A and B are shown apart, each in its own frame.
Chain A
């Protein structure tokens, strides 16, 4: 009895990102600019992400900040100013690519995304890593797809004991105060929009 299924074209965004990388001439300079832009805005920031709380179970953002393997992800979240979205009541399930996963992207991709002018694209990619929900790796085996916070779907596949989200393997899971963090070995790139 159901209505149409939206058919997403699973064309990788990688192509777009790769082309945009070609315009860069001096990576180091770009990164410094981005960092500076972020730090000036930090002073104005307020909200749940900035509450001091050493008593409750860490939330998904605090877990990411506390992980040495996720410094790139945290830098990206800060550049996209998504901190407050990750600390609310949720429940939130965050698929957290490791630094290694980010490093595996074509050279310059991350630096380019961290530029202030690409904040929208970066936010869209990051929101594609977040599901409203809180499911263990085992429970995720029941799903075929997940609806992500950027309004797109990501596939769920089971291979033996392993669970793959959009082709990325869950390599660890950390329960959080407002959901769960699943560490994954690849960066998820949203399919091209309809």
Chain B
């Protein structure tokens, strides 16, 4: 592991989500939320190929999409997705990163309202959100939401090449059940893959189509110059009723609660993995267009035409394993599908649907990743399988264990297991790419001259302590191997003490940390050239030490200071210093 990047959850190691600068990143319309359930990272693309600029990732629980800048490997933007619930068929990017797409797993009342749960059917809806990404900055904005029937939208994938302009979403619970889904959502032989012509809807929207509806969602943006995030609440969103845009949305019948929805590099094949089906269903984009043209319909659902199964089906892989979930591609005409129940990865050939190889995974695999394996140009030499069950793979650690993953060499006809390794947390999905795409662009320091933080201090002479009522602002610097100031007096019980710490280092890989005894937020880890702020509300009179928490130098253990806390009634004067007395 090279770096753990906090996105939706507080991260005490660096102070993300605890520091004053980053708290706004976790703001939502439901207030500050300290955690998230992230699922599917996807790397930005240009012309269908991974370009290594950004990673997008979804938060499932309180629906949000985040953007990580691969120059700094930091989360720089989070947008909440209104009208969505269980943001699972997300966050997949179109061929030129025009959009990052977020589909709802749970359908809900739109707009949200107080209504009986039993009236779900016909009343709940599922929002598919198209979030535009600005070409230069990567800034996100919800362009439109398609309000679909009240199914569960499980996973999604953009068209590639010939199918660019379309987006495909697997659905389950087309039964529209609201209770005991393990039974009630498994009644239909076939659910659907929803094919959405987003270019057509985009055109409709650009011509003023759709309606603005009241909404309430947070848009949080981190500014690299102020080193500070801001959170803006947005009060409306554009929604589109699919039947208002004829020819924009079709349903492709797909057996048994399909989970994974994967499109091959050519854009021709759309693989729907029916998780309760023993077979893999592969649809043809060419046949789909012909079926639309020829109006080969098999009824409709809420006004959306259902295409005839036989007229869109390219073929199926017969009984390759039990419990198919996800498929990726190697760019050599082969597909690799994971099977949860039979715990294996099966390699099969596109077009002939024959099984070429199978390898066990340990145990019960979920997603798999081939670098670029969901793009138009896979960089397919390796594949790794991410498992849900660990059991005896590694030395025992009690009832709770880390998850397991396996790395395979897929350069030959047969897959070869190279490495079996534990992962941190559930390795839900992964995005991978050739290292050269990001190595050269990776930033080493933040330029101190670009630091526009309002509380930054650029030298020892800038350091000061300023009282504003019961708020005390400490403008503090760090450089090997001291804090300035390192002796502070005049703080009183009831004060809110803001430690604004600027790391003056301009050397690669020399962060400093900051911790003070009784700090009930978290430590800070400050990168060279950066300013971060921690609030401390002392509750006890005394002289309390603070110190550097990152082993910065040979004199790291000397990098410390004291802050004196007096009773609320005391008249101790405000005083700060560093190195006043050298003995």
Cβ of A159 within 8 Å of any chain B Cβ, yes or no, is: no
Q: How far is the CA of A66 from the CA of B528 in the complex (A)?
A: 64
Contact A151 B277 (CB under 8 A): yes
Chain A residue with the shortest CB-CB distance to B122: A1
Main secondary structure, interface of A, reads loop
Contact B189 A88 (CB under 8 A): no
Among B306, B309, B319, B362, contact of A151 (Cβ-Cβ < 8 Å) = B319
Contact B343 A47 (CB under 8 A): yes
Chain B residue with the shortest CB-CB distance to A120: B319
Q: How far is the CA of A172 from the CA of B331 in the complex (A)?
A: 52
Contact B343 A88 (CB under 8 A): yes
Contact B343 A3 (CB under 8 A): no
Chain B residues with CB below 8 A from A48, complex form: 343, 362-363, 389, 391
Distance from B358 Cβ to chain A, minimum over Cβ atoms (Å): 12
Also in contact, A3 and B391, with CB within 8 A (given A132-B341, A133-B183): no
Also in contact, A47 and B256, with CB within 8 A (given A3-B306, A151-B279): no
Q: How far is the CA of A44 from the CA of B13 in the complex (A)?
A: 45
Contact A51 B392 (CB under 8 A): yes
Chain B residues with CB below 8 A from A143, complex form: 183
Contact A5 B392 (CB under 8 A): no
Chain A residues with CB below 8 A from B174, complex form: 1-2
Also in contact, A3 and B389, with CB within 8 A (given A88-B364, A133-B182): no
Contact A1 B276 (CB under 8 A): no
Contact B183 A149 (CB under 8 A): no
Cβ of A65 within 8 Å of any chain B Cβ, yes or no, is: no
**Range for the number of chain B residues in contact with chain A:** 20 to 34
Chain A residues with CB below 8 A from B362, complex form: 47-48
Contact A151 B278 (CB under 8 A): yes
Q: How far is the CA of A47 from the CA of B277 in the complex (A)?
A: 23
Also in contact, A149 and B189, with CB within 8 A (given A2-B174, A48-B363): no
Distance from A130 Cβ to chain B, minimum over Cβ atoms (Å): 9
Pairs A-B, 10 closest by C-beta atoms: A151-B278, A51-B392, A3-B253, A3-B190, A48-B363, A1-B301, A88-B364, A85-B342, A2-B188, A89-B364
For the complex with contacts A2-B189, A48-B391, A88-B389, 16 further pairs of A-B residues with Cβ separation under 8 Å are A2-B174, A3-B298, A3-B299, A3-B309, A6-B189, A48-B362, A51-B391, A53-B391, A85-B322, A85-B342, A89-B340, A89-B388, A127-B278, A142-B183, A149-B278, A151-B277
Using a CB–CB cutoff of 8 Å, the interface residues on chain A facing chain B are 1-6, 46-48, 51-53, 84-85, 88-90, 127, 132-133, 135, 142-143, 147, 149-151
Using a CB–CB cutoff of 8 Å, the interface residues on chain B facing chain A are 174, 182-183, 186, 188-190, 253, 256, 276-279, 298-299, 301-302, 306, 309, 319, 322-323, 340-343, 360, 362-364, 388-389, 391-392
10 contacts between A and B (CB under 8 A): A1-B302, A2-B174, A3-B306, A4-B189, A84-B343, A84-B360, A85-B342, A150-B278, A151-B277, A151-B279
